[in-house]
């Protein structure tokens, strides 16, 4: 087991290295005129450094003056010591901006995940136990619709109904206009109020796949021999489903959910942007649109790390929760 984990970690590091290389090459392949244009544009801003200084800083941070491979190693060396440079768009160190925005993204992600699990898993089990019933059809269609909904369209619909027609929520932003004058409890409520629509959006578009996943796995378990044995023993249906079948369904579920845990930090690029929630997704969207290379590089590598940790966690926990699985 330990050997397997070490092997996987080493492979992950190798993959991460390659991902960083690919992303770096991609960034280098962007037209240089574009980078220069951005440096020029940046230098036009009041109280900014001169164009030459921006270009020099860029060259120093990214080894733009060197070839692609030496430049990559120069960047890697700095990144390993935690120096990701200054963000062009936010004009503060990348890590500082990151620490400012990551909190809200994590909170949003965590609430969404909890709601998703609480809603989707019972629905999935319900569908599996009543396969081909009306309930099954209705839930299946609803979850497929949620799964097929384009985020931006659903968010626009929610805004039309709840913000424009009913005026329950603001259209954009994390805080209301009178945020500064509220008590700390009021500020908390204000933020929570502004997070309702984004979280609803996220839950609706993501719960469908979990419902279907639960349903498929539950069906598989319900067709297993030991369930027939349990029924043959004369156990009541409730006990069969929730004691025997559900526990076995938990194995893949725990795996997939634990695999998605690191994803809590990755933020919701589209949803945050649509609702102007200042999380990591929103911050990096604007950084990427503005051609903020330092921030984009950091964000891409960060996402790659999260994906790798997620895969690793999923695989390891799969072995931990299911004693039948042997890792080699």
Partner 1 sequence: MSKKDVNDKNETQQYSLNDDRRVKVLSPGALVAKRFARNRMAMVGLIVLIFMFLFSFLGGIISPYGEDQLFYRNDMMSKEYASAIVNEEYRYGAFTEDFNSVIQAKMFLAISKKADTFEYNGVQYGLTEEGKEFYSASKNGEMIGIAYKDIFNASAADSQYDMSFRYAALKAYTNGETTFEAEGKTYRVELDEGHIYDGTTEIGYVSRIVVQALMPDVFLSKAFKDQLIEVINDGGEQFVFTDADGVEYEYELTYKAATKTYTILQEKESRVFDTYAQPSAEHWLGTDRNGMDMLTRLMYGGRVSLVIGFIVEIISLVLGVIMGGISGYFGGWVDMLVMRIVDVFYCIPSMPIIIILGAAMDATGVDPTIRMVYLMLILGFLGWPGMARLVRGQILSLREQEYMTATEATGLTVSRRIFKHLVPNVIPQLIVSATMGLGGTIITEATLSFLGLGVKFPFASWGNIINDVNNVYVLQNYWFIWIPAGVLLLATVLAFNLVGDGLRDAFDPRMKR
Give contact residues for partner 1 (rule: CB under 8 A).
11, 14-16, 18-19, 22-23, 26-27, 30-31, 33-34, 37-38, 132, 137, 140-141, 144-145, 147-153, 156-157, 159-160, 164, 171, 269-270, 273, 284-285, 288-291, 296, 299-300, 303-304, 307-308
Q: Which is nearer to partner 1, 36 or 322 (CB)?
A: 36
**Shortest spacing between CB 186 and partner 1, in angstroms:** 26
Q: Which is nearer to partner 1, 45 or 148 (CB)?
A: 148
**Shortest spacing between CB 220 and partner 1, in angstroms:** 10
Q: What share of the chain is helix, strand, coil (3-state, %, to 5)?
A: 80, 0, 20
CA geometry: angle 67, 70, 75, nearest 5 deg:
110
Q: Which residues of 146-172 are buried (b: 16+ CB within 10 A; e: fewer)?
A: bbebebeebbeebbeebbeeeeebbee
Reference 75, options 300, 299, 294, 307; nearest CA is 294
Rounded Cα gap, residues 199 and 196, in angstroms: 5
Q: Which is nearer to partner 1, 141 or 196 (CB)?
A: 141
**Shortest spacing between CB 87 and partner 1, in angstroms:** 15
**Shortest spacing between CB 234 and partner 1, in angstroms:** 28
Compute CA 149 distance to the chain's CA centroid, rounded to the nearest angstrom: 18
**Shortest spacing between CB 11 and partner 1, in angstroms:** 8
Q: Which is nearer to partner 1, 48 or 131 (CB)?
A: 131
Could you tell me the two tokens for 247?
């526990």
Reference 295, options 104, 106, 99, 85; nearest CA is 85
Rounded Cα gap, residues 316 and 56, in angstroms: 45
Q: Rounded to a whole number, what is the distance in angstroms from the first to the last CA of the chain?
A: 7
204 membership: H or E segment, kind and range: helix 184-222
Rounded Cα gap, residues 178 and 69, in angstroms: 52
**Shortest spacing between CB 188 and partner 1, in angstroms:** 27
Q: Which is nearer to partner 1, 51 or 147 (CB)?
A: 147
**Shortest spacing between CB 159 and partner 1, in angstroms:** 6
Q: Which is nearer to partner 1, 223 or 239 (CB)?
A: 223
Three-state secondary-structure class, residue 290: coil
**Shortest spacing between CB 173 and partner 1, in angstroms:** 13
Rounded Cα gap, residues 188 and 179, in angstroms: 10
Q: Which is nearer to partner 1, 1 or 30 (CB)?
A: 30
Reference 241, options 208, 269, 218; nearest CA is 218
Q: Which is nearer to partner 1, 129 or 151 (CB)?
A: 151
């Amino acid at each position: 087991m330990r050997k397997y984990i070490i092997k996987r970690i080493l492979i992950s590091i190798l993959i991460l290295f390659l991902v960083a290389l690919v992303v770096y090459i991609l960034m280098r392949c962007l037209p240089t005129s574009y980078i220069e244009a951005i440096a020029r544009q940046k230098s036009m801003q009041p109280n900014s450094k001169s164009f030459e200084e921006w270009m020099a800083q860029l060259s120093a941070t990214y080894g733009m003056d060197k070839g692609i491979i030496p430049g990559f190693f120069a960047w890697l060396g700095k990144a390993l010591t935690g120096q990701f440079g200054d963000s062009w768009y936010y004009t503060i160190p990348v890590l500082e901006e990151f620490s400012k925005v990551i909190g809200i993204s994590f909170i949003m992600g965590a609430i969404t995940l909890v709601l998703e699990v609480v809603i989707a898993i019972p629905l999935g089990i319900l569908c599996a136990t009543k396969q081909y019933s009306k309930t099954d059809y209705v839930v299946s269609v609803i979850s497929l619709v949620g799964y097929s909904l384009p985020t931006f369209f659903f968010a626009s619909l929610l805004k039309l109904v709840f913000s424009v027609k009913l005026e329950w929520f603001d259209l954009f932003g994390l805080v209301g206009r009178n945020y500064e004058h509220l008590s700390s409890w009021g500020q908390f409520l204000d933020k929570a109020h502004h997070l309702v629509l984004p979280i609803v959006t996220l839950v609706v578009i993501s719960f469908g796949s979990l419902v279907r996943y639960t349903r498929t796995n539950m069906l598989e378990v319900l067709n297993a021999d030991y369930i027939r044995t349990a029924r043959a023993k004369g156990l009541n249906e409730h006990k069969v489903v929730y004691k025997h079948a559900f526990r076995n369904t938990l194995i893949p579920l725990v795996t997939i959910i634990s695999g998605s845990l690191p994803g809590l930090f990755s933020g919701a690029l589209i949803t945050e942007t649509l609702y102007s929630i200042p999380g990591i997704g929103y911050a990096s969207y604007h950084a990427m649109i503005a051609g903020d290379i330092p921030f984009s590089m950091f964000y891409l590598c960060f996402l790659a790390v999260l994906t790798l940790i997620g895969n690793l966690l999923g695989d390891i926990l799969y072995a931990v929760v299911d004693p039948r699985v042997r890792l080699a």
